[in-house]
Amino acid sequence: MFFSATKPFWQNQTLGTALSIIAGLLLSASAAFCNPLFDGADPDILIANKTYWIYPTSEGSNDKDCFLAYSSPDLKIWTLRGTILKMKDIAWIGADGAKSHELWAPGIFASRGKYYLYYAVGPQNPTPSRIGVAVADAPEGPFVDSGKALITGGNGFEAIDPMAFRDPKSGKDFLYCGGSAGSKLRVYELNADLVNIVREVPVETPENFTEGAFMQFHNGTYYLSYSHGKWNDDSYCVCYSVSSSPTGPWKYKGKILESNEEHAGPGHHAFIENPSTGQTYIVYHRWNGAKSSGKMPDNRSIAIDLIEYGKNNEILPVKMTNTGVPASPIQ
Q: Does 300 fall in a domain?
A: yes
Q: Is 74 helix (H, G, I), strand (E, B) or coil?
A: coil
Q: Does 290 fall in a domain?
A: yes
The mean pLDDT value for 240-244 works out to: 98
Query: Tens digit of pLDDT for each residue in 247-272?
Result: 999 999 999 999 999 999 999 999 99
Q: What is the DSSP letter of 93?
A: G
Give the residues across from 86 on adjacent strands.
66
Q: Does 61 fall in a domain?
A: yes
Query: How many independent structural domains does the chain possess?
Result: 1
Q: Does 324 fall in a domain?
A: no
Query: Tens digit of pLDDT for each residue in 174-221?
Result: 999 999 877 899 999 999 999 999 999 999 999 999 999 999 999 999
Structure confidence at residue 91 as a pLDDT band (50, 70, 90): very high
| Domain assignment of residue 137, given as a range | 40-307
CATH number at residue 78: 2.115.10.20
Q: Does 8 fall in a domain?
A: no
CB 283 within 8 A of CB 304: yes
Q: Does 7 fall in a domain?
A: no
The mean pLDDT value for 271-292 works out to: 94
Q: How many CB atoms lie within 10 A of CB 256?
A: 21
**Ordered DSSP codes for 14-31:** -HHHHHHHHHHHHHHHHH
Q: Does 139 fall in a domain?
A: yes
Closest CA to 121 of 109, 104, 96, 142: 104
Q: Does 63 fall in a domain?
A: yes
Query: CA torsion, points 110, 116, 119, 121, in degrees to nearest 10?
Result: 180
